[in-house]
Amino acid sequence: MIISDNASPNPEVRRLCELYASEDARLRYVRQPLNQGAEGNFWFVYDQARAPLFLWASDDDLWPADFLERGVAALQANPRASAWFCQVVNIDERDEIVRTYPSFKRFESTWLKSGDLARFLWEPEIMGKANLIYSIFRRQSLSKTLDKFRGRPSTWGSDMNLVYGHLCRFNLVIDDRVVLRKRVVGETVGSITNPRSQIYPRQERETYFEGYRLAAAGSGYRLFTAGVLALRSAYDYWKSGRAAFDYEHWAFRRRVIRVLARIRAYVLGSRAIG
């Protein structure tokens, strides 16, 4: 296990990590001299890893005790699968569940790769697909997709872009009987009543969608990805209510309505005089 301390200002973090690393030779503790950012820290631990299987893990989440055992066994029994994941719930600072999701089995790879990819792209972001970044991966299978994102600025949704690039090339298995409790600290988390109203930030759409096209490049699914994203962009614009909002607040529409109202008033006034 590689622990990358991303320059935490809390001295207790360093003390505890060094203590546990001194007591267990399987732990390797590295303290970063400067904060690398989340992505930079993720790249670092991946580059340091040497084992055939790999996963990223955040320090404040609660992982099932049998997570690794179940995941490793599933990949050993499924040589055609390159990643394994489980079910997710969100918890708060008090470890209380604040959000649940439909079964992550919906992300499991099937015989129809194009259907799997379209389903992933179409899924509203609020429904948890970013959590697949915490899968257990066959380490070498990640390299092609990771290399596409190295050196690029960190952008909104890049975790989902990376997962999608992996799904374009490899298969994923899901065991929804195992539950990862993913912590959301300082966020307002409520029930999901209208997923289509809680998607990507509108101002991030262009960069976010370009990340998907980049991830698919070289996999044979780039044009397919671009087509699905074009459809989704139009659908989201209508379904999220943005089209109706823009229509209601469209300056030209308001001017047309005012002109028509004047014409109507003039016509009615002329009839009354006649």
Contact (Cβ atoms closer than 8 angstroms) between residue 146 and residue 43: yes
pTM: 0.85
User: Looking at this protein, which amino acid is placed at residue 163?
Assistant: V
Query: Can you tell me the distance from the alpha carbon of 128 to that of 195, in angstroms, rounded to the nearest whole number?
Result: 11
Can you give the pLDDT at residue 230? 94
List, for residues 191-238, the tens digit of each pLDDT value. 677 787 788 888 999 999 999 999 999 999 999 999 999 999 988 877
Q: Which residue has the tokens 């929804």?
A: 176
CA end-to-end distance (rounded Å), the chain: 91
Can you give the pLDDT at residue 102? 94
pLDDT band, residue 274 (cuts 50/70/90): low
Can you give the pLDDT at residue 260? 72
User: Which of 191, 144, 151 has its CA nearest to residue 170?
Assistant: 144
Can you give the pLDDT at residue 256? 62
Q: Rounded to 5 degrees, what angle do the CA atoms 97, 187, 4 make? A: 90
Can you give the pLDDT at residue 263? 72
Query: Can you tell me the distance from the alpha carbon of 211 to that of 39, in angstroms, rounded to the nearest whole number?
Result: 15
Average pLDDT of span 99-109: 95
Contact (Cβ atoms closer than 8 angstroms) between residue 164 and residue 75: no
Average pLDDT over the chain reads 89
SS (H, E, C) the chain: CEEEECCCCCHHHHHHHHHHHHHCCCCEEEECCCCCHHHHHHHHHHHHCCCCEECCCCCCCECCCCHHHHHHHHHHHCCCEEEEEEEEEEECCCCCEEEECCCHHHHCCCCCHHHHHHHHHHCCHHHCHHHHHHCEEEHHHHHHHHHHHCCCCCCCCHHHHHHHHHHHHCEEEEEEEEEEEEECCCCCCCCCCCHHHCCCCHHHHHHHHHHHHHHHCCCCCHHHHHHHHHHHHHHHHHHCCHHHHHHHCCHHHHHHHHHHHHHHHHHHHHHHHC
Of the candidate ranges 79-93, 117-131, 228-242, the one whose mean pLDDT is the lowest: 228-242
Query: Can you tell me the distance from the alpha carbon of 97 to that of 190, in angstroms, rounded to the nearest whole number?
Result: 11
Percent of the chain exceeding pLDDT 70 equals 87
Using DSSP bridges, classify how beta strands 81-91 and 171-183 pair: parallel, antiparallel or unpaired: parallel
> Above 90 in pLDDT, residue 71?
yes
Q: Tell me how far apart the 2 most distant CA atoms of the chain are, in Å.
A: 101
List, for residues 13-41, the tens digit of each pLDDT value. 999 999 999 999 999 999 999 998 888 89
> Above 90 in pLDDT, residue 181?
yes
Can you give the pLDDT at residue 152? 85
Using DSSP bridges, classify how beta strands 2-5 and 97-100 pair: parallel, antiparallel or unpaired: unpaired
CA-to-CA separations, 263 to 248, 258, 273, 274, in angstroms, rounded: 21, 9, 15, 16
> Above 90 in pLDDT, residue 151?
no
Fold of 52-240: Spore Coat Polysaccharide Biosynthesis Protein SpsA; Chain A (3.90.550)
**What are the boundaries of each domain within the chain?**
52-240, 241-274
